[in-house]
Amino acid sequence: MNKKKIIRYIFIGVAAFLIIAQFFPIDKTNPTSEPSLDFLTIEKPPAEIATMIKNSCYDCHSNHTKYPWYTNVAPVSWWIKGHIDHGKEHLNFSEWGSYSAKKANHKIEECHEMVEGTEMPLLTYWLVHPEAKMSTEQRAAMVAWFKKVPKQKE
C-alpha cells in the first residue's frame, strides 16, 4: 500500500470518528442546589472576592456550570466534561454547607494553596475565559481572604 492511500484511510477514519462522536453528547444538566448551602452565601466574601471566585472557580467547582458553544463538539466536550466532573468531585462550592468541619477546613487550605501556587484556575480554562485570569494582586487578595476564612469547629 502506498503512502497516499494510507494517509487517505487515516483521514477517512478520523473524519468518521469525529462524525460518529457527535452522536454522543455530554450531559449539561446542572444539579439543583440549595442556595443556603452555597459557599458564597455561607462565607460572605467581599464583592470583589466573590466575583473572582465566581469567574475563576464556579464553572468547574459548583452546580452552576455555564457550558460554552464548544461543549457541543465532541471529543472536546468529553474532555471538558471530564474536567468539570473531576472538579466537582474534588470541591463543590454549591454543597459547601453540607461539608463536615474537617473537610471544609481542608478545602479552604487547598483553595489558598492552589490559588497561591497558580495551579488554579487552570491555564486551559482562563485561556478561553479571560475573565477568570487573575493578576498577581488579585491572586494575593484571594489568597489572603481564604486564609482569613474562620476555621469550622470540628
Q: What is the pLDDT of residues 127-153, one digit of tens each?
A: 899 999 999 999 999 999 999 987 776
Say how many domains are in the chain: 1
Closest CA to 95 of 26, 149, 30, 142: 30
Q: Are 134 and 56 within 8 A, CB to CB?
A: yes
52 within some domain: yes
How high is the pLDDT of residue 137?
Answer: 95
More confident residue, 41 or 3: 41
| Grid cell at residue 139 | 491572586
**Which domain does 97 fall in, by range?**
27-148
Residue 115 lies in a domain: yes
Task: Give me the helices (H) in 68-151, please.
Answer: 76-90, 101-116, 123-128, 136-148
What is residue 22's predicted lDDT score, i.e. its pLDDT?
A: 94
Does residue 154 carry a pLDDT above 70? no
List, for residues 71-97, the tens digit of each pLDDT value: 999 999 999 999 999 999 999 999 999
CA-based nearest residue to 108, from 89, 88, 93, 125: 93
Whole-prediction pTM value? 0.86
In a domain, 20, yes or no: no
Evaluate whether residue 17 is within a structural domain: no
**Does residue 3 sit within a domain?**
no
